Chain A
Amino acid sequence: GAGVSQSPSNKVTEKGKDVELRCDPISGHTALYWYRQSLGQGLEFLIYFQGNSAPDKSGLPSDRFSAERTGGSVSTLTIQRTQQEDSAVYLCASSLALAGAYEQYFGPGTRLTVT
């Protein structure tokens, strides 16, 4: 079946512009995660959606970052007034998040470059 997809695969933007990154999770997965991975670095937790619960936004680095998940499926991560330090690969993952089924399936990522 189809895996997690993300778009665009690459995004180059000028400092100060807004960007939107999209994630399509695996159908039926109730949990959706956004992580940020800077070059050669680890996976930095950003935000987590679980079913109809309020999202856990504790990892968002500033109020320029926001995310929403419409209809319990597609998610959009928005970065306003981008800065050069926002340059990274943004990874989305989804999981069933049921007892015994917590494996996260990652998308290919969006490589964001802020010039």
Chain B
Amino acid sequence: GENVEQHPSTLSVQEGDSAVIKCTYSDSASNYFPWYKQELGKRPQLIIDIRSNVGEKKDQRIAVTLNKTAKHFSLHITETQPEDSAVYFCAASMGSSASKIIFGSGTRLSIRP
């Protein structure tokens, strides 16, 4: 089936520490893996994405890693700041078209001052 599992559902880290969120997907044809951030009362916004031909991608304090063999990918946030507090969603494309996107259940990240 078409499924994306995300863990943990909640995560609390001390400001300045790192946060890691992990996802697994079911469709071996998946080739596009975006991450979205949703602040309270706002719409989800893309923060980083990775294609299947790349194992890792970085953008300042955010990095995503992909293991296609194991069908899992992870989001890493370093030097966390209060403004990183939000709900984070992983997602994966389903099928060969790469444009049907299925989301994980979300991780509520809280940064402790």
Contact = CB atoms under 8 A, between A and B. Distances in A.
Interface in A69-111: 91, 95, 97, 102-104, 106-109
Contacts, number: 55
A6 to B, nearest CB: 10
B45 interface: yes
Given A41-B105, A43-B89, A102 B44 contact: no
Question: For chain B, what secondary structure do more than half of its interface residues adopt (helix, strand, loop), or is it mixed?
Answer: strand
A108 B98 contact: no
A48 interface: yes
Contacts of B103: 35, 42-45
Which of B93, B98, B99 has the most chain A CB atoms inside 10 A of its CB?
B99
B44 A106 contact: yes
A20 interface: no
Interface of B: 2, 6, 32, 34, 36, 43-46, 49, 89, 93, 97-106
Interface of A: 31, 33, 35, 41-45, 48, 50, 56, 58, 91, 95, 97, 102-104, 106-109
